Amino acid sequence: MKLLVAIVVALTCVASHGAAQEPESRRVPWSDGIVELAESLPVQDGGRVKPLHTFASFTLLRLNGKRSLTTPSGERLGPTEWLLDILVFPQTAIGYRQFLVQNDEVIAAIGLSVDERKKRDRYTFEELRPGVGRLFELARQYTLIEEADRSSVQQQVVHLANNVDEFMRLAGHLDFARMRLRVGAEPEVAELFDASVVPFHAVVRAAPGLHELADGVAGRGEALAILRAAADVGGASGSLALLPPVAPVDDEPSWLTPDDVFYRSYDEGRLADEHAEALRSFVALVDARLDPGAFERELAGLHARLTGLAEARGEYASVGLEVAYYKAKLLSWSLYLFVFAFLGLAFLWLRPRAKVLYAGISGVAGIATLLLIAAIVVRCVIRGRPPVSTLYETVLFVTCVGAIVGLAVEAVNRRRLALSAAAIFGMIGLFIANGYELLDKQDTMPSLVAVLDTNFWLATHVTSITIGYSAGMFAALLGSLYLLAKLARFKRDDRAFYKGLARMVYGVLCFGLLFSLIGTILGGIWANDSWGRFWGWDPKENGALLICIVQIAILHARMGGFLRDHGVCAAAAFGGTVVAFSWWGVNLLGVGLHSYGFTSGIHDALWTYYLVQWAIVGLGGVAWLLERRNAAADRLRAVPGRPPEEIAESKAA
């Protein structure tokens, strides 16, 4: 609501002190050259410098639920083209169906009609505009309620309000370049300018002189009026920090918006020539919006200025690589190949002697794993971080390690079991990563919280503990396959098949325990270094300890003969829920020193996994009982001299 009032006030002030050029619609699609230049423009968002393409991609995902949009004319826009339309042609962009509303009760709650609309539908800003005031008022009320206590509709109202707020900020970002401010007739003010109507950057240059006049008597009223109008126009530009400071990174880490530049010129009496030229370039860019050739030339000039400032600060090196990473879609291709390998394995099990098919599927799974490795490596280069620094990255890393382990085991025994597990693990892991990204809708390469901002411990403790997670989850998958195969009586007479699968589970558990122990000990050392104590019974610490205890118990029970192959596999399948609890479950608690990894919305998915695994363990118990009963019946049938009717009864049983 405050933003809506601010925009109304700003437009009122500008109406009395300046004039706005009427925006026209875009007449032709954005050229490839314009899109490429815009994609690689650097912007500081969320504490890090990233390409405008990344910013646009996640912004559109939050608003629209996907990274593309179709205009009323049928034109399909990518994230950068969409953002260009919002910035340069906002009057056109307000007609795009870009606000995804999951429940039409939200629309009814803000006083709008939902006739002839789907329950889940997309709306334009034009359609929502009559209810924006009510929307912001409801959102203000609902934000006073704890998120966990909000109803579904209340949460969606807050979400929609945030999206509308973000859209309005972006649509008004270039108002400073569109507007012209009227100077007035006061001679003391007029001599600071060369025209009676001037652009924003001219007022920014004159801000120190206007400041002096505002503190004096002559021309004070007119100077204050111009400064207020410039502040109102510049105030809408706070959505994008596109201007790198001239100072080194250590002296001034935060980038600037046009509004920041204005206040710096006003308060400190200084304006860098580079920033003045950049503001002038924005004005020229907007003025050239109807001429694609001129627009591209102005954008190239602006791009050169901004990237030059960013390069001088050492903040542009990975921007181009990040654009290439997202456009290459390495993770998507990896997922497609894992799915293809999984489907191919279904045919392979029907024709186990097809060597060419086996080699082809092995190659597809290997390429999928290599693409996943490449994606992780590129992310490390972009961020200058080890491969695991966020929950999203743990999903990628766990999936990658599991796939590598599966392929390595398959290379040793060549029974198709580990290859199948690797394909299943890779497919499920990347589905989870994709779902996490769609659920969270935030940049997956964010700046780290202070406690994680250390490459040494990320490369040692976090990587080790995540390898332990991966091995535990992979062992759970293998154990689950063992139990389900037993229940389905698949290859029931092939003891070597089940013996080999059980040995895989045992080996992966040993591998996982090693890294879980190392990771837990290193975590304690890190905690002692950061917080002054080795162990504090924090939920995340307890979760790591639980993994170690469960895996040690399984291995000791196997060594002592309390668990045999079937029992070890069932225990490993159950152990997957312990790993999932330590990995994700403790984050749902939102407490403790490790609560920085909290992610809402995964509660249902996590409990689904728990219930599925527990059901598999239960079914495995049923399979074990059936196996024992059949074995007992076989022994009875083998007793010599039994009456025929008793043998018939045992066979019937």
From 580, 578, 582, 569, select the one nearest 616 (Cα to Cα): 569
Q: Is 634 exposed, middle or buried (0-12, 13-18, 19+ CB in 10 A)?
A: exposed
* pLDDT of 478 over the 90 cut: yes
From 101, 98, 94, 26, select the one nearest 67 (Cα to Cα): 98
Instruction: Give the per-residue pLDDT at 635.
Output: 66
pLDDT in tens, 360-375: 999 999 999 999 999 9
How many CB atoms are closer than 10 A to CB 503?
14
Q: Which of 56-70, 177-191, 343-357, 636-650 has the lowest mean pLDDT?
A: 636-650
pLDDT in tens, 93-136: 999 999 999 999 999 999 998 888 899 999 999 999 999 999 99
Instruction: Give the per-residue pLDDT at 450.
Output: 58
Joined together, the tokens standing for residue 412 give 């040793």
pLDDT in tens, 328-365: 999 999 999 999 999 999 888 888 788 899 999 999 99
pLDDT in tens, 544-579: 999 999 999 999 999 999 999 999 999 999 999 999
Q: Which of 141-155, 403-417, 451-465, 611-625 has the lowest mean pLDDT?
A: 451-465
Instruction: Give the predicted TM-score (pTM) of the model.
Output: 0.87
Percent of the chain with pLDDT over 90: 65
Distance CA 450, CA 635 (A): 66
Percent of the chain with pLDDT over 70: 90
Averaged pLDDT for residues 65-69: 95
Choose between 199 and 640: higher pLDDT: 199
Average pLDDT, the chain: 88
* pLDDT of 15 over the 50 cut: no
Task: Report residue 1's pLDDT band, with 50, 70 and 90 as the boundaries.
Answer: very low
Task: Report residue 601's pLDDT band, with 50, 70 and 90 as the boundaries.
Answer: low
Task: Report residue 58's pLDDT band, with 50, 70 and 90 as the boundaries.
Answer: very high
* pLDDT of 384 over the 80 cut: yes
Instruction: Give the per-residue pLDDT at 22.
Output: 47
Kindly report each contact of residues 110-116 with a partner whose C-beta sits within 8 Å and lies 24 or more positions away, as own/partner: 110/134, 110/135, 110/138, 110/157
Joined together, the tokens standing for residue 453 give 């901002």
pLDDT in tens, 407-427: 999 998 888 889 999 999 999
Task: Report residue 5's pLDDT band, with 50, 70 and 90 as the boundaries.
Answer: very low
Distance CA 342, CA 348 (A): 10
Instruction: Give the per-residue pLDDT at 291.
Output: 94
Instruction: Give the per-residue pLDDT at 646.
Output: 55
* pLDDT of 634 over the 90 cut: no
* pLDDT of 496 over the 90 cut: no
* pLDDT of 29 over the 90 cut: yes
